[in-house]
Structures are given as C-alpha cells and as structure tokens.
Structure 1
C-alpha cells in the first residue's frame, strides 16, 4: 500500500499542494499534520507508524516534511528498513525501494556522520586552545547582581557572629548550602564548629 504523509508547520499554512501531489502519486491513505518540525510530538505520524505493514511505501512531498532533522529522518528510515517499509520522496526523487534511492540515503547518512565528526573535532580543538590559554570548559562560577548582593550580606552577617548559619540563610533567603557557597566565593573562612552545628 502507498501511504501518504503531509505536514505543514503552522495552522496558517495549508496542505493542498502536498495533498494534491500525494493523491496524484496514488496514495490510498494520507495522514495530515499541522505541527512544527521542532516538536517531537506528532500524533498523525505516530498513527501512521502504528498502521504501517511489511511492503508498504511511505510517500512524502519532500524529505523535510517527514524528519525534524537529518538524524531524525535517518532514524525513521532505519525503522522503515527493519519493518521492510519503503520511503518515496516526490520532489527529492528518492525511493528506497530502488538501489539508487538507498544509495542516496546512505550518502546522506555518511554526510551526517562526517558532520558529527567535524563538530567533535572542532570542540576538542577549542577546548585544547582554551586549556593552553589557561581556561577550563564548563559553567562559569560568577554570580548574578542579585547573588552578589546576597553574598555580601552573608559575609557581613557571618563576620558579625550574632546569627547562626541557619538564621543567616533564612534572613537573606537562600539555602544553607548556597550560603556556604557565597562565603567560599568571597574567601571567608568557615569555622569548623559553625559548619557542623549551624551555630556560633
């Protein structure tokens, strides 16, 4: 059976162009979706996947109507292959039921892997360059303006030695763990007794 799948990204767009092309191609049933390609939740696609049987061919107007990304598209195609389901893209002239179509998709898969390797290589080179310049990867330990104010209050209250850490944390509106973080960032030595008991 030739099964059609049509999708547009927004409710303002219409499916007529895709539906006409899929109908002309001979699709016996067409699943219609109005959903952004970014969204993982596509109920009509899920319905189609549940109904596909061995020997069916999924027909789409264009490859980007099916996959959210190249990786997502290749994963779907791999699923089709396991279930012995073909894929035909009308405007891309790709048909995985033919040797030529399978070759083109294999080239796409190779390009995707090549792109991933390049990204990994660039990331590794960037981290190495940063390390040479004395910087390390990861989240910065700097504080926001609001956190800076609270850390100064924390230091002031702590050095006054009138309140225990629980009371200081409650006064400035942070957890005890965050309070200790602020004190460490401001270079304030924490007494062993107070850190254990929360009291002066």
Structure 2
C-alpha cells in the first residue's frame, strides 16, 4: 500500500492569501489527498487545524508541509510534533528542503534546521527589542495607544445606566476583559 500524503498549510494572518494559495498549490502538486489549512499565528500555540491533522494521520502516512516555519516555531515545538508523528508511525516531508524523515539523514537535517531556525528567530526578536529600546530612548516610540481605556467614561456611563457587560462590549467594540478592567479600576 502506498503512503498517504496529508498536507498542512498555514499563514500568520488572513491577509496572506497569496501565501496560503501557493502552499495549497504546492501540497496538491506533491500529491496530498487531504490538506488541513489555517490562517493564524503559531505564536499563540493554538493551531486547531494542525491538531486535527496530527489526530487524522495514521501509521504509514506522511505529513507534508511546504516549509519548516509553517509547522513549528521552535526546536521544542518541532521535537514535540515529530515525536507525536513518530509514535503514530507517520513520517514528515518538507518540500522546500527536499527533506524526508523516513531517512536517517532527513532526521538529522530536520533537527539541525530546527535549531538554526530557532536561533534566527531569537536573533530577530533581540534586534527588535533593541530597536524598540533605542526608539524609546530617542522619544520616537510611544507604543500602541490604549484603545479601550480611552472609552472608560463611556463604559462607566453605560454601566451606571444599567447596561450589561455584553451590551457595553458590543456597543463600544472593546473586549470583555477591557470592560471589566475599566470597571475594576473605577471601583
């Protein structure tokens, strides 16, 4: 019986439609019979479609992704995913790297690449923090304007008028947590 190829595609935002379309095209060209896709950041560590894909795959299947960063953001994440696949008897294929974990060389390369990717990400975050610190020191960085707190007077007035938290949240288009934070700060 031939290996069943299961694809997984992810972009960080819904604005990246072209990126998702390209991944879907590449996964289909690779022969994937089923593809799980989502458009959300992996930083939140909640990737429901990836979880569904990991539950769906069966022994002998191959999980296919176009690039390593579409699957994992850290070596720990990568190790956890590959371990879950290994327990189920599922291999991993990364198209852009021509990497297949069914070979010893593929397993070694996956671990090396995961380490390098995590190192690059940490360097990028460090540069970003340094840039923000410099901009703050130069008085050029103020941070994001607090949107909900600017509506504190309206929240308090609506609550005093007997409106529910849900009503306030819907009317002012702010989060439930923001409503409670404003009410708590006013108490």
Q: Which residue of 2 aligns with 1:9?
A: 12
Aligned counterparts of 1:17 and 1:109: Cα–Cα separation in 2: 23
Q: Which residue of 2 aligns with 1:56?
A: 61
Q: Which residue of 2 aligns with 1:34?
A: 39
Misfit runs of 4+, over 6 Å: 109-112
The offset of 1:109, in angstroms, is 6.8
The offset of 1:52, in angstroms, is 1.1
RMSD: 2.4
Q: Which residue of 1 aligns with 2:30?
A: 25
The offset of 1:12, in angstroms, is 0.5
Q: Which residue of 1 aligns with 2:83?
A: 78
After superposition, what is the alpha-carbon deviation per residue over 1:131-179, rounded to whole angstroms, capped at 9, x for unaligned?
Answer: xxxxxxxxxxxxxxxxxxxxxxxxxxxxxxxxxxxxxxxxxxxxxxxxx
The total of aligned residue pairs comes to 115
Q: Decide which structure has greater helix share.
A: 2
**What TM-score, normalized to structure 1?**
0.53
Asked whether the equivalents of residues 27 and 65 of structure 2 are also in contact (C-alpha less than 8 Å), the reply is yes
After superposition, what is the alpha-carbon deviation per residue over 1:91-120, rounded to whole angstroms, capped at 9, x for unaligned?
Answer: 0221101222112124457779x9xxxxxx
Structure having the higher Rg: 1
The structure showing larger relative contact order (alpha-carbon pairs under 8 Å, at least 6 residues apart) is 2
Q: Alpha carbons of 1:2 and 1:69: their partners in 2 closer, same or farther (altered >3 Å)?
A: same
Q: Which residue of 2 aligns with 1:89?
A: 94
**What TM-score, normalized to structure 2?**
0.56
The offset of 1:71, in angstroms, is 1.5
The offset of 1:82, in angstroms, is 1.6
Q: Mind listing any 5+ residue stretches in structure 2 that lack a counterpart? A: 120-187
Q: Mind listing any 5+ residue stretches in structure 1 that lack a counterpart? A: 115-200
Aligned counterparts of 2:6 and 2:64: Cα–Cα separation in 1: 6
